[in-house]
């Protein structure tokens, strides 16, 4: 087996030694030689060197200096050090600092060969690990989905299972939970990924325009139709059509959509013949379609057609474990995007975020973090940056000596409401101060006041 693909860099200023190593190793390795630090660094950076043989004494330069520079470039660099016999102590230091092996002069070639073969193995191992990590990171970046809670992990498993099948998918969940993101990821990792993905927000386009947007029209179909126009169904041919906010589609269009799904054909406005369509359909809504059916606003037959595979994305309140990871992800994202390095995140920042209601789910969290970083003037994020307050740990029981009656078994919302009213009154209706005493954020007290119609 030829090992010539493994590149070894030998750094020694003694030409005689370099030559004898060349002679001894040239059949086994692809060899590179350097006699000083700058040469060595250049070669190392330009070639995929597996292992390095380094003489500690390089004329008036110090091999250890080079070693430290190499470590900066690659913390996993595999280096075999050659030292003269007298410098054993420094060799021990060298091993401690991460050097793979040291050999004393005169060099025993068998020892060197043995060390080199192990060094090259070590390098391969490093590269494999690195590669796996890169893959992981790349996946995360590509998909941009943070999923640490068991609920989200289950969803990601489902996504993986269904990515290559064409059954219609209905994604439901509150606003800002990631429905649109999941839809686009299903397309991006699925079997139609080489073909187009179109996302149409059914609520954003006036219904009278939506019909021609979806199905297209023929020239002359109506005044102003000067040329044929393709609809999204035709544009997304072989790809994916994401019908977002499907609950907002009007009844007339619901009927037409049902027909397209059943027949796999569309008829553009003004056309006499229908055209075959081959699209994967994903839909999403934050509305309760069952309720819309009861109210006569959504066709039951369409609902059953769409709801073949349902992905219900839980609200952020139901998967608080994801919050710190999402926060971290958004902090990295926005410090990069806004070019504002954040070096420290105070614990109270996470506490404040975990204490928030986040009715707007991930979108709200993302916005809060973006704003906090945009307005931040230091390299640290603190609760105060998101309007949060640090709890006063010395004063755990609110206002000393003040009590309100609460019944055992009383409804918790009722109790909360009473406490908020009483505290507000005590604070002369100053919301910020009441929130501070209650250990909640301004935002939370506002939300609660709204919730209780106060």
Ligand X SMILES: Nc1ncnc2c1ncn2[C@@H]1O[C@H](COP(=O)(O)OP(=O)(O)OP(=O)(O)O)[C@@H](O)[C@H]1O
Residues at the interface with ligand X (CB under 6 A): 144-147, 173, 175-181, 286, 326, 329, 362-363, 366
Work out what residue 175 binds among ligand X, Mg ion, none; the CB cut-off runs from 5 to 8 Å by kind: ligand X
Distances, alpha carbon 354 to alpha carbons 131, 350, 372, in Å: 34, 6, 15
Structure tokens at 216: 């297209």
- Say if residue 438 is preceded by a cis peptide, omega within 30 of 0: no
Which listed option, ligand X, Mg ion, none, makes contact with residue 363 (CB within 5 to 8 Å by class)? Answer: ligand X
The C-alpha atoms of residue 84 and residue 64 are separated, in whole angstroms, by 14
For residue 180, state whether it binds Mg ion (rule: CB under 5 A): yes
Comparing CB distances to ligand X, the nearer of 176 and 239 is 176
Rounded distance, CA 426 to CA 414, Å? 18
Q: Which does 176 bind (CB under 5 to 8 A by kind): ligand X, Mg ion, none?
A: ligand X
CA distance 79 to 21: 16
Residue 4, SS3?
coil
Question: Among Mg ion, ligand X, none, what does residue 184 contact (CB within 5–8 Å per kind)?
Answer: none
Kindly state the smallest distance separating residue 332's Cβ from ligand X, in Å: 11
Q: Which is nearer to Mg ion, 49 or 210 (CB)?
A: 210
* Residue among 119 and 200 whose Cβ is closer to Mg ion: 200
Under 8 Å between Cβ of 412 and 402: no
150 binds, among Mg ion, ligand X, none (CB under 5 to 8 A by kind): none
Name the residue nearer to ligand X (CB basis): 94 or 159: 159
Among ligand X, Mg ion, none, partner that 362 touches (CB below 5 to 8 angstroms by kind): ligand X
Closest CB to ligand X among 328 and 433?
Answer: 328
- Strands annotated E in 202-338: 240-244, 265-266, 275-276, 280-285, 309-312
Render the burial of 305-319: b for 16+ CB within 10 Å, e for the rest: bbeeeebebbbbeeb
Q: In the complex, what is the shortest distance from the CB of residue 155 to ligand X, in angstroms, rounded to a whole number?
A: 9
Q: Which is nearer to ligand X, 63 or 173 (CB)?
A: 173
Q: What is the CA radius of gyration of the chain?
A: 33
- State the nearest-atom distance from the C-beta of 394 to Mg ion, in Å: 45
Distance in angstroms (rounded) separating the CA atoms of residues 57 and 54? 9
**In the complex, least distance from residue 170 CB atom to Mg ion, rounded to whole angstroms:** 13
Q: Measured from the CB of residue 181, what is the shortest distance to Mg ion in angstroms?
A: 8
Query: Residue of minimal CB distance from ligand X?
Result: 178
Minimum CB–partner distance for residue 220 and ligand X (Å)? 36
Q: Least distance (Å) from ligand X to the CB of residue 251? A: 22
Give the contact letters, 136-175, x = binds to Mg ion (CB under 5 A), - = no: ----------------------------------------
Within 8 A by CB and 6+ apart from 269, the residues are: 211, 212, 215, 216, 217, 218, 221, 222, 225
Cβ proximity to Mg ion, 234 vs 283, nearer residue: 283
Distance (Å, rounded) from C-alpha 316 to C-alpha 176?
Answer: 9
Closer residue to ligand X in complex, CB, 372/389: 372
Report in angstroms how near the CB of residue 180 gets to Mg ion at its nearest: 3
Helices (H) and strands (E) in the chain, counts: 18, 16
The listed partner (Mg ion, ligand X, none) that binds 314, CB under 5 to 8 Å by sort, is none
Q: What is the DSSP letter of 101?
A: E
- What residues line the site for Mg ion (CB under 5 A)? 179-180
């Amino acid at each position: 087996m030829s090992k010539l693909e493994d590149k070894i860099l030998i750094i020694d200023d003694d030409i005689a030694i370099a030559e004898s190593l060349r002679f001894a190793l040239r059949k086994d390795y692809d060899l590179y030689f350097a006699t000083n630090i700058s040469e060595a660094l250049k070669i190392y950076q330009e070639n995929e060197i597996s292992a390095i043989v380094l003489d500690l004494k390089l004329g008036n330069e110090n091999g250890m200096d080079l070693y430290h520079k190499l470590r900066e470039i690659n913390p996993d660099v595999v280096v075999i050090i050659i030292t003269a016999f007298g410098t054993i102590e420094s060799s021990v230091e060298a091993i401690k600092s991460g050097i793979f092996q040291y050999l004393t002069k005169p060099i025993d070639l068998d020892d060197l060969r043995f060390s080199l073969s192990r060094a090259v193995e070590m390098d391969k191992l490093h590269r494999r690990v690195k590669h796996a990590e890169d893959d992981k990171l790349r996946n995360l970046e590509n998909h941009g989905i943070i999923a640490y809670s068991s609920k989200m992990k289950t969803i990601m498993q489902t996504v993986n299972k269904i990515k290559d099948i064409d059954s219609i998918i209905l994604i439901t969940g509150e606003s800002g939970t990631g429905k649109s993101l999941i839809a686009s990821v299903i397309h991006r990792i699925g079997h139609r990924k080489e073909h187009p993905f179109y996302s149409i927000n059914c609520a954003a386009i006036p219904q009278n325009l939506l019909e021609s947007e979806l199905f297209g029209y023929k020239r002359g179909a109506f005044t102003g139709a000067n040329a044929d126009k393709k609809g999204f169904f035709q544009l997304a041919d072989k790809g994916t059509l994401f019908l977002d906010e499907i609950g907002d589609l009007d009844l007339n269009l619901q009927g037409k959509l049902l027909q397209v799904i059943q027949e796999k054909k569309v008829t553009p406005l003004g056309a006499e013949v229908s055209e075959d369509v081959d699209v994967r359909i994903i839909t999403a809504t934050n509305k309760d379609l069952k309720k819309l059916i009861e109210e006569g606003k959504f066709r039951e037959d369409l609902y059953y057609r769409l709801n073949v595979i349902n992905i219900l994305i839980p609200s952020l309140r139901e998967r608080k474990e994801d919050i710190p990871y999402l926060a971290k992800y958004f902090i990295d994202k926005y410090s990069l995007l806004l070019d504002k390095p954040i070096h420290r995140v105070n614990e109270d920042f996470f506490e404040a975020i975990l204490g928030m209601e986040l009715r707007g789910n991930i979108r709200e969290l993302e916005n809060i973090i973006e704003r906090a970083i945009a307005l931040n003037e230091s390299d640290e994020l603190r609760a105060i940056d998101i309007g949060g307050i640090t709890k006063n740990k010395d004063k755990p029981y609110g206002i000393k000596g003040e009590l309100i009656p609460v019944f055992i078994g009383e409804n918790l919302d009722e109790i909360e409401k009473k406490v908020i009213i009483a505290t507000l009154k005590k604070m002369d209706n100053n919301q910020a101060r009441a929130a501070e005493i209650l250990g909640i954020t301004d935002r939370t007290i506002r939300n609660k006041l709204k919730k209780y119609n106060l």
